[in-house]
Amino acid sequence: MELSPIKKLTSLDEPADLAQYAFSDYARDHYQNGSPYTYCRTRLYSSLHDLGEHEDNEEIALTIFNVIKRFMMDLPEPKEEAISEEDNVFKRTMQRNAELKQAGTFKRKMDSVKHPEWQSLPELSLMSKPTSNITKVRFICSYGIFRPELRDEIYNQICVQLTENPSSTSSSRGWILMALCLGCFPPSQKFLNFLRNFLKQGPNSEYGEYCLKRLQRTLEVGNRKLAPNFIEMHAAKVEGKIFLPVTTMDGKTVKYEVDSSTTCEELLQQIQKKIGLKNVFGFSVFAKVFDEVFNWGCGQESVMDVISLCEQYAQHKNLKIEAIGGKWGIFIRKDLFLSSANPSSDPVETDLIYNQVIGGIRFGEYACDTDVELADFLARKYYINHGKTFNENLASQLIEQSLPESFLETHRKQMEMIGLIRDTINTTPTLRVGSDPEAIKQEVVSLAKAEWVHVFSKIFNATIISGRKIPKGEVKVYMHSKGIDLHSVSEQRGSFFVSLDFDHLAVITNDSPKNLKHADPSSIVSFQKYDKSIYILKSVRAVEMKKLGNILLEDYRKGDPLLSQTGNKILY
């Protein structure tokens, strides 16, 4: 449900008279200062377009043109012995966080990149030294992504260098760069059809069609947030498809066809169809790089962006380019339940969640409050693996395979757990009578749903504007199957935890309070309880919070007719 705002062009269809949109005509009507529109061997003395009032746009445009020429091998690298240090978003984010005196944790960096207003632009000085091809591509595309007023300038500069280019090598590299840009950001409406016509005439019909498809996908989905990765560069070189390995929590890895514009939602839909999931609600795309795991999302987040992040993080850790591929991976995991979720309704989903829970216990992700509760899970795993006949040696092996090493420090602790597993098998009716193992997996899922409500939550960052008996300030908002929790830990304000249970929650809106009449409704989310108390929060993801909150609230009410009737009166 994590839907990020994206800018799309209004018209996606090609006009019938596309051939009338000649690139030379566009250049004649829109270029300034007699700028060339065919292959240029010399430097530009001004940008092709009037780039408006931003005083640095002119310098950026001229720098980009030189970088384009360097990528196409039309211009040599600067005469420096050492290659410039690889630029990446992690280095820039660390510098920014230091300036803002914020913590620079890995997950904070990930959260900041997903922020709708996040930007990260490389310094122009980066190009004063020799750089790798991937750094050049990142440089050009980053400015195209975050400076919309430069997009037409970039596309036109590439078109200029591809028009009447005498070098086949230079031309080939220029078309690769064109394809990479097309997968990241669209041109303006004004230049769109001129670019389409240009692509149709490009090096051959196959590559021209390849570029047009990339453009069309970007028009449909919106611009990226990060520049291309190595996988995309390789695919652009060979006009190839991208097959992304994705691992599910049962340990199976399957390759799925993706492109530069594939979203998490689209990838999840592919996975749903491939493995036979009835519903992907509550599943998200996760990424792992080294030992760091993070939730990328389930909506309009770009799959290629998260791979770019993984690659750049690996580079930030001083890993060589050729060794990066094996250091990251993409997974799907369950991170949210509906209140009405019934494990018996989908065996495929239940099996995935069962394996996720058992693996999460092993690595300390899911922790029980008591050893008795832990034994509930382990006894069921024992039953699924070995049946109801208890064997102490098998139980000992299971404990070693299923629990964190910290739990296994003492022999006494292991023996106590063996006894608890035995007792649970002997006293639990479904285990004692020899139930179907699939039914026991369903029990594990139900136990996890009940035990770790807070863990299976969607988490948002927000700021409290007003609320009963709580101070204003930043909070984490946890949305889950039973309600919404507000949690803050602050040295200045102290820690507090407010639980807005769905039993007591009447309505969730984006309405602004009267004292915030000029506030943007898309940045405000209000939670009103039946007792008329209201908690008002501000967040860049307020619309998403309202949408998800109401899905969870309405689903919860379905299980209680009285709540459903009451809620309908308030909402409608």
Same domain, 175 and 62: yes
Range of lowest pLDDT (98-112, 136-150, 183-197, 309-323): 98-112
Of 6-15, 316-325, 459-468, 551-560, the least confident = 6-15
Q: Count the residues in the chain.
A: 572
560 vs 409: CA distance, rounded Å:
46
**Tally of CA atoms within 13 A in the half-sphere of 331 that contains its CB:** 21
Q: Is residue 374 part of a domain?
A: yes
Same domain, 484 and 553: yes
Predicted local confidence at residue 92, as pLDDT? 58
For the domain that residue 528 is a member of, what is the CATH number?
2.30.29.30
Q: What is the helix (H) or strand (E) element at residue 343, kind and residue range?
A: none
With b meaning 16 or more CB within 10 Å and e meaning fewer, what string describes 96-113? bbeeeeeeeeeeebbbbb
Q: Let me know if residue 224 belongs to a domain.
A: yes
Q: Where are the alpha helices (DSSP H) in 89-223?
A: 89-99, 106-114, 133-146, 151-162, 168-182, 189-200, 205-221
Q: What pLDDT score was predicted for residue 116?
A: 60
What is the CATH number for 125?
Answer: 1.25.40.530
In a domain, 479, yes or no: yes
CA distances from 521 to 469, 541, 546 (A): 24, 11, 11
Whether the predicted pLDDT of 133 surpasses 70? yes
Confidence of residue 313 (pLDDT cuts 50, 70, 90): confident
pLDDT tens profile 389-415: 999 999 999 999 999 888 777 778 889
295 strand-pairing partners: 286
- pLDDT of 16 reads 85
* Range name among 220-224, 264-268, 563-567 with the lowest pLDDT average: 563-567
Quote the pLDDT of residue 501: 95
For residues 200 and 58, membership in a common domain is answered with: yes
Q: What is the three-class DSSP state of 166? A: coil
Q: How confident is the model at residue 247 (pLDDT cuts 50, 70, 90)?
A: very high
* Same domain, residue pair 58 and 163: yes
Claim to verify: residue 449 and residue 368 sit in the same structural domain: yes
Could you tell me the pLDDT band of residue 6, with boundaries at 50, 70 and 90? very low
User: Given 238, 260, 276, which residue is the final one in a domain?
Assistant: 238
pLDDT for residue 570:
33
Average the pLDDT over 540-555 and give the result: 94
In a domain, 103, yes or no: no
DSSP-derived letter for residue 280 is -
pLDDT at 101 over 60: no
Residues 324 and 398 in one domain: no
Confidence of residue 497 (pLDDT cuts 50, 70, 90): confident
Domain of 426: which CATH number?
1.20.80.10
Q: What's the pLDDT tens digit per position in 53-73?
A: 777 999 999 999 999 999 999
Q: Is residue 3 part of a domain?
A: no
- Confidence band, pLDDT 50/70/90 cuts, at residue 107: low
- Residue 257 pLDDT exceeds 50: yes
The answer on 554 and 526 residing in a single domain is: yes
- pLDDT (average), residues 556-561: 77
Retrieve residue 506's tokens: 């009447």
| Dihedral sign computed on CA atoms, order 309, 310, 311, 317 | positive
Residue 339 to residue 554: CA distance in whole angstroms: 10
Tokens of 57: 């746009």
d(CA 33, CA 48): 8
Q: How many CA atoms lie within 13 A of 390 on its CB side?
A: 17
Residue 89 C-beta-side C-alpha neighbours within 13 Å? 27
**Quick one: how far is CA 444 from the chain centroid?**
29
pLDDT at 406: 81
The average pLDDT across 12-30 equals 90
What is residue 265's DSSP assignment? H
Give the chain's domain count: 4
Q: Are residues 439 and 321 in the same domain?
A: no
99 confidence band (pLDDT: 50, 70, 90) = very low
Residues 184, 319 within the same domain: no
Query: Maximum Cα–Cα distance for the chain, whole Å?
Result: 89
pLDDT tens digits for range 263-273: 999 999 999 99
Which CATH number goes with the domain that contains 308?
A: 3.10.20.90
Instruction: Give pLDDT, residue 360.
Output: 94
Sign of the Cα torsion 274, 276, 277, 278 reads: positive
505, 483 contact by CB (below 8 A) = yes
Among 173, 190, 165, 180, smallest CA distance to 210 is for 180
138-149 pLDDT, tens digit each = 999 999 999 999
Q: What is the mean pLDDT of residues 27-34?
A: 93
Q: Give burial (CB, 10 Å; 0-12/13-18/19+) of 448.
A: buried
- Average pLDDT (275-286) is 96
In this prediction, residue 81 has a pLDDT band, given cuts at 50, 70 and 90, of low
Q: Which helix (H) or strand (E) holds 484?
A: strand 483-488
Share of the chain above pLDDT 90, in %: 69
Q: Which of 500, 461, 498 is nearest to 484 (CA)?
A: 500
Q: What is the pLDDT of residue 155?
A: 98
Higher local confidence (pLDDT), 281 or 317: 281
With the C-alpha atoms ordered 348, 352, 357, 359, is the resulting torsion angle positive or negative? positive
DSSP state of 312: H
Residue 566: what pLDDT? 41
330-378 pLDDT, tens per residue?
999 999 999 999 999 999 999 999 999 999 999 989 999 999 999 999 9
Mean pLDDT of the chain: 87
For residue 484, what are the β-bridge partners? 479, 500
SS (H, E, C) 173-192: HHHHHHHHHHCCCCCCHHHH
How high is the pLDDT of residue 271? 97
Identify the residue whose tokens are 């940045």. Answer: 523
Decide if 519 contacts 512 (C-beta within 8 A).
yes
Angle, CA 520 vertex, CA 518 and CA 525 arms, to 5°: 115
**The pLDDT of residue 5:** 38
Last residue of a domain, one of 207, 238, 269: 238
* Residue with the two structure tokens 């280019």: 165
Closest CA to 458 of 536, 524, 545, 349: 545
Do 167 and 265 belong to one domain? no
What is the distance of C-alpha 532 from the center of its chain?
36
Range with the lowest mean pLDDT among 91-105, 127-141, 531-545? 91-105
Q: Which residue in 210, 206, 232 sits closest to 311, CA to CA?
A: 232
CA 301/CA 457 separation, integer angstroms: 18
pLDDT > 70? residue 472:
yes
Do 142 and 44 reside in the same domain of the chain?
yes
Q: Is 4 a residue whose pLDDT tops 60?
A: no
Answer yes or no: do 313 and 355 share one domain: no
Given pLDDT bands bounded at 50, 70 and 90, which one contains residue 170?
A: very high
Examine the pLDDT at 12 and tell me if it is beyond 80. no
Cβ neighbours of residue 29 closer than 8 Å, sequence gap 6 or more: none
Q: Which domain does 558 fall in, by range?
A: 457-563
CA–CA distance, 486 with 460 (Å, rounded to integer): 10
Cα–Cα distance for residue pair 298/313, rounded to 1 Å: 22
Q: For a pLDDT cut of 70, what percent of the chain falls above it? A: 85
Task: Write down which residue in 309, 334, 359 finishes a domain.
Answer: 334
Rounded CA gap, 467 and 83, in Å? 54
Find the mean pLDDT for residues 427-456: 95
Position 166 scores a pLDDT of 96
Classify residue 97: in a domain, yes or no.
no
Q: What is the mean pLDDT of residues 107-117?
A: 62
* 268, 1 Cβ separation under 8 angstroms: no
**Which of these ranges, 14-18, 24-28, 474-478, has the smallest mean pLDDT?**
14-18
The confidence score (pLDDT) of residue 572 equals 21
pLDDT at position 325 is 67
